[in-house]
């Protein structure tokens, strides 16, 4: 069978693959704890349910504009004004099938073959693959000081005449760090001077802890949306726990939105009106649901930090936002793929290898689930890796004895 070389070289999604493996283990009756998936466990907001149900029961589920339903775009425009202090026109907004499609369509619309995009490690697993699918070249910038925050000088050195964009994800998946305002300010100024797009993946921008704030890039420019090089990506999946609805959006200069709309029209034709109605309901409904989720996630984070205090040999940079932690497990094994597979086999805990995020020697742990899952999951990981932890543990109703140390 002859297949596209470009498509054949795209890596399998490690998070989806691990989730599928966990699902199969559960079907066999194994007591698997999934600390790999980034999916809040809250119920869909009632306003989203009612709005999508109303659209469905109306029987008018037809084609809608490729760039999004006008009523949803109106809600996004208001959201942008309230959270970014910027006035967006309808022509500055496009609705997409999740933030992932937002990023793909952006890359497809701005890149020519061999153009470069700066990606800051640790990074979300799909960034490099999306860039490669659009015939671009990801240029990875890894912090040299052992932290998860690159210095501006490191980013500047990586820029060439082929650089078209820099992606910033703050709060960051997988580390939970928030980039300092000074770094964002320098990047905004640099991108404006160089004519480079600054793509802000803001999907977690309200999930921050301890009075930390993810400062929006727009704060550091007097230019309006139309004249700036800032592109903002957002959606309802993480803040509202609506991962299955697949609704994201982009706020950008109208010429870019026009091209992205053409790409959408020739591929997916747009987002399901039922899902768009749900997103509109969420944005127009009570916003206390976001704060309730943030508080729940912060409590989970605090529980995780407490559990790690007694975890010998592990170094953890405290997450300031998102629902992820990226502990350094090199004291046990520098190969994160081997560690993740070992933890799934021995402890029945799903984690994601740090290698997939450009940070080998670490594993990503999601604390988006229940406190019970976080507590028991970390206890199992400690049992599997830390020789100072108790030698016996119950996994489900099975008493397990550690016999590999």
Q: Domain containing 235 — which CATH number?
A: 3.40.640.10
**Closest by alpha carbon to 347, among 384, 399, 392, 393?**
384
pLDDT at 15 over 80: no
Return the pLDDT at 16. Answer: 76
**Residues 325 and 367: beta-carbon distance below 8 Å:** yes
Give the whole-angstrom CA distance, residue 76 versus residue 63.
Answer: 20
Return the pLDDT at 217. Answer: 98
CB atoms within 10 A of CB 53: 14
51 is a domain residue: no
28 is a domain residue: yes
Give the whole-angstrom CA distance, residue 314 versus residue 294.
Answer: 26
Domain that holds residue 88: 61-284
Across the range 1-24, mean pLDDT stands at 83
48 is a domain residue: no
pLDDT at 13 over 90: no
Residues 256, 244 within the same domain = yes
pLDDT at 14 over 80: no
pLDDT at 22 over 90: no
Residues 39, 176 within the same domain = no
Q: Using one digit for the tens of pLDDT, what is the confidence trace for 275-318?
A: 999 999 999 999 999 999 999 999 999 999 999 998 988 999 99
Q: Using one digit for the tens of pLDDT, what is the confidence trace for 382-394?
A: 999 999 899 989 9
Residues 256, 307 within the same domain = no
Return the pLDDT at 244. Answer: 95
Residues 161, 277 within the same domain = yes
Return the pLDDT at 11. Answer: 84
Residues 374, 230 within the same domain = no
Q: Using one digit for the tens of pLDDT, what is the confidence trace for 317-343?
A: 999 999 999 999 999 999 999 999 999
Reported confidence tier of residue 26, pLDDT bands at 50, 70, 90 = confident
CB atoms within 10 A of CB 353: 23
368 is a domain residue: yes
**Closest by alpha carbon to 336, among 305, 315, 314, 359?**
359
Give the whole-angstrom CA distance, residue 174 versus residue 326.
Answer: 6
Sorted by sequence, the CB contacts under 8 Å of residue 322 that are 6+ apart come out as 38, 171, 172, 173, 176, 204, 207, 238
Task: Count up the domains in the chain and report the number.
Answer: 2
- Among 284, 316, 337, where does a domain finish? 284
- Among 231, 266, 284, where does a domain finish? 284
Q: What SS3 class is residue 249?
A: strand
Residues 86, 227 within the same domain = yes
- Give this prediction's pTM: 0.95
Residues 254, 371 within the same domain = no
Average pLDDT, the chain: 95
Reported confidence tier of residue 65, pLDDT bands at 50, 70, 90 = very high
**Residues 257 and 93: beta-carbon distance below 8 Å:** yes
Return the pLDDT at 365. Answer: 98
On the CB side of 254, how many CA atoms lie within 13 Å of its CA? Answer: 7
Across the range 369-387, mean pLDDT stands at 95
Q: What SS3 class is residue 214?
A: coil
Residues 154, 255 within the same domain = yes
Return the pLDDT at 312. Answer: 87
Residues 204, 65 within the same domain = yes
Q: Using one digit for the tens of pLDDT, what is the confidence trace for 73-124?
A: 999 999 999 999 999 999 999 999 999 999 999 999 999 999 999 999 999 9
**Residues 213 and 242: beta-carbon distance below 8 Å:** no
Return the pLDDT at 206. Answer: 97
Residues 361, 252 within the same domain = no
pLDDT at 133 over 80: yes
CATH assignment of the domain containing 15: 3.90.1150.10
365 is a domain residue: yes
299 is a domain residue: yes
CB atoms within 10 A of CB 371: 14
Residues 280, 335 within the same domain = no
- Among 260, 284, 308, where does a domain finish? 284
CA geometry: angle 138, 144, 148, nearest 5 deg: 75
Percent of the chain with pLDDT over 70: 100
Residues 35, 104 within the same domain = no
pLDDT at 51 over 90: yes
pLDDT at 144 over 90: no
Q: What SS3 class is residue 235?
A: strand
């Amino acid at each position: 069978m002859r297949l596209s070389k470009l498509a054949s070289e795209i890596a399998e999604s490690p998070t989806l693959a691990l989730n599928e493996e966990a699902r199969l283990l559960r079907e066999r009756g194994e007591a698997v704890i999934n600390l790999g998936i980034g999916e809040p466990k809250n119920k869909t907001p009632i306003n989203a349910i009612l709005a999508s149900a109303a659209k469905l029961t109306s029987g008018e589920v037809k084609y809608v504009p490729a760039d999004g339903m006008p009523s949803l775009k109106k809600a996004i425009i208001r959201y942008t004004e309230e959270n970014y202090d910027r006035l967006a026109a309808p022509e500055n907004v496009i609705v997409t099938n999740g933030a992932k499609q937002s990023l793909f369509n952006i890359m497809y619309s701005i890149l020519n073959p061999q153009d470069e995009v700066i990606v800051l490690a640790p990074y979300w697993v799909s960034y490099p693959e999306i860039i490669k699918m659009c015939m671009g070249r990801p240029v990875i910038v890894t912090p040299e000081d052992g932290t998860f925050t690159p210095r501006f000088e490191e980013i500047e050195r990586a820029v060439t005449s082929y650089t078209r964009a820099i992606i910033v994800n703050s709060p960051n998946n997988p580390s939970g760090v928030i980039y300092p305002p000074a770094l964002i300010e320098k990047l905004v100024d640099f991108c404006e001077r160089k004519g480079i797009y600054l793509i802000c993946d803001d999907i977690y921008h309200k999930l921050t802890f301890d009075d930390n704030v993810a400062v929006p890039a727009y704060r550091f420019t007097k230019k309006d949306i139309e004249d700036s090089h800032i592109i903002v990506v957002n959606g309802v999946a993480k803040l509202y726990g609506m991962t299955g609805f697949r609704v994201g959006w982009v706020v950008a200069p109208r010429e870019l939105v026009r091209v992205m709309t053409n790409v959408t029209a020739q591929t997916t034709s747009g987002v399901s009106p039922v899902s768009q109605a749900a997103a509109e309901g969420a944005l127009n409904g009570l916003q206390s649901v976001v704060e309730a989720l943030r508080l729940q996630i912060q409590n989970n984070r605090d529980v995780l930090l407490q559990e790690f205090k007694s975890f010998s040999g592990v170094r953890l940079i405290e997450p300031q936002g998102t629902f992820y932690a990226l502990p350094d497990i090199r004291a046990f094994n520098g190969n994160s793929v081997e560690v993740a597979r070992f933890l799934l086999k021995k402890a029945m805990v799903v984690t994601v290898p740090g290698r997939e995020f450009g940070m080998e020697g670490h594993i990503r742990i999601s604390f988006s689930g229940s406190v019970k899952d976080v507590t028991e999951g970390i206890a199992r990981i400690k049992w599997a890796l830390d020789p100072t932890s108790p030698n016996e543990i119950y996994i489900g109703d099975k008493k397990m004895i550690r016999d590999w140390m």
